[in-house]
């Protein structure tokens, strides 16, 4: 637990759980049916810090740092593929002795992972909620940040260490956040800055992005038999709503599509609205 900063949101609910070679940092709180919250590329448990207490009175909330991210350590390059993470998540849940999730919520790249997790689960979740899901390639602003560092060279720590060291002085993280069309307050930006000062987090985020096989997620879309709700931000500059909606209609024709005003990280600005959507699904 020493690796978790004392000021990290909901740290009192944190624990380290080892599954194979991965030491997962997870937060678990509440009682009742299980809700699994999955963050996107470059993020962590902190992204869900405000919805967690809103949900914990109604359900057991499980929130992991994904392999390669934040305080989950030990992941190898091959562990960062969506199917491998989905498998490891299943083992994590079994090892923790909790029920299979009834609802899985994924933001951005966490949404394709949520679909892969649901497809592979012995007991599929009844509902997957995809917030600004990365069902299309990331935008130029994102790939310009990570792109030059993607590929075999990321097996080395040299470039990720350099990027982490330069990040604070160049204001790179703030520029990246602003490019989402979500203007986060300083109180939330500080966590992203802390994360991107960690070379292992930068390297893990780069490799996670490179390993995501979105085509496989879409090709196997019909294997998920539960309900899917996709929430699209009208002002999302990273994953524009119009082309994303077309992808959803083609591959997830039964999905319910909701459009909210907001950018790519809008769930961090409207935690009550997100919690209300999740709880409505829990009540059905």
Using CA atoms, how far residue 47 sits from 40, 51, 97, 227, in Å, is: 9, 9, 25, 24
Surface-to-core class of residue 155, CB atoms within 10 Å of its CB (0-12 exposed, 13-18 middle, 19+ buried): exposed
Q: At what angle do helices 158-170 and 199-211 cross, to 10 degrees?
A: 110
Q: Looking at the chain, which runs of residues are DSSP E strands?
A: 14-19, 22-29, 34-38, 60-64, 103-107, 127-131, 227-233, 256-260
pLDDT recorded at residue 140: 54
- pLDDT score at 145: 53
Q: What would the two tokens of residue 176 be?
A: 């990246």
> In this structure, what token pair is assigned to residue 130?
């995809």
Structural domains in the chain, CATH included, are 11-136+213-283 (3.40.50.1820)
CB neighbour class for 85 (10 Å; exposed up to 12, middle 13-18, buried from 19): buried
pLDDT score, position 81:
95
pTM for the structure as a whole: 0.92
Sequence-ordered list of residues with C-beta below 8 angstroms from that of 98, at least 6 positions apart, any chain: 28, 34, 60, 62
3-state secondary structure of 41: coil
Longest Cα–Cα distance of the chain, Å, equals 50
CA distance 144 to 166: 15
What is the SS3 assignment for 24? strand
Q: How far apart are the first and last CA of the chain?
A: 37
The per-residue pLDDT string of the chain (284 residues; one tens digit each, 9 = 90 and over) reads 788 999 999 999 999 999 999 999 999 999 999 999 999 999 999 999 999 999 999 999 999 999 999 999 999 989 999 999 999 999 999 999 999 999 999 999 999 999 999 999 999 999 999 999 999 865 555 555 554 444 444 444 544 454 545 455 447 788 888 889 999 999 999 999 999 888 889 889 888 988 888 999 999 999 999 999 999 999 998 898 999 999 999 999 999 999 999 999 999 999 999 999 999 999 98
């Amino acid at each position: 637990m020493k690796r978790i900063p004392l000021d990290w949101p909901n740290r009192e609910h944190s624990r380290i759980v080892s599954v194979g070679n991965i030491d997962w940092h997870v937060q678990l709180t509440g009682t009742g049916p299980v809700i699994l919250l999955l963050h996107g590329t470059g993020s962590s448990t902190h992204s869900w810090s405000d919805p967690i207490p809103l949900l914990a009175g109604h359900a057991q909330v499980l929130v992991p740092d994904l392999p390669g991210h934040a305080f989950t350590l030990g992941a190898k390059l091959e562990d960062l593929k969506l199917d491998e993470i989905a498998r490891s998540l299943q083992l994590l849940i079994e090892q923790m002795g909790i029920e299979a999730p009834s609802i899985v919520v994924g933001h951005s790249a966490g949404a394709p992972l949520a679909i892969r997790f649901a497809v592979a689960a012995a007991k599929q979740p009844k509902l997957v909620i995809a917030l600004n899901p990365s069902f299309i390639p990331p935008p130029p602003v994102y790939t310009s940040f990570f792109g030059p560092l993607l590929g075999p060279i990321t097996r080395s720590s040299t470039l990720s260490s350099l990027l982490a060291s330069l990040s604070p002085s160049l204001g790179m993280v703030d520029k990246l956040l602003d490019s989402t069309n979500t203007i986060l307050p300083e109180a939330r930006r500080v966590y992203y800055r802390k994360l991107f000062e960690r070379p292992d987090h930068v390297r893990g985020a780069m490799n996670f992005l490179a390993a995501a096989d979105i085509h496989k997620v879409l090709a196997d879309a019909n294997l998920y038999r539960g309900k899917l709700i996709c929430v699209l931000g009208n002002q999302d500059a990273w994953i524009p709503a119009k082309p994303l909606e077309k992808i959803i209609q083609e591959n997830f024709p039964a999905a319910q599509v909701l459009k909210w005003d907001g950018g790519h990280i809008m769930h961090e600005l409207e935690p009550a609205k997100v919690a209300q959507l999740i709880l409505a699904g829990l009540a059905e």
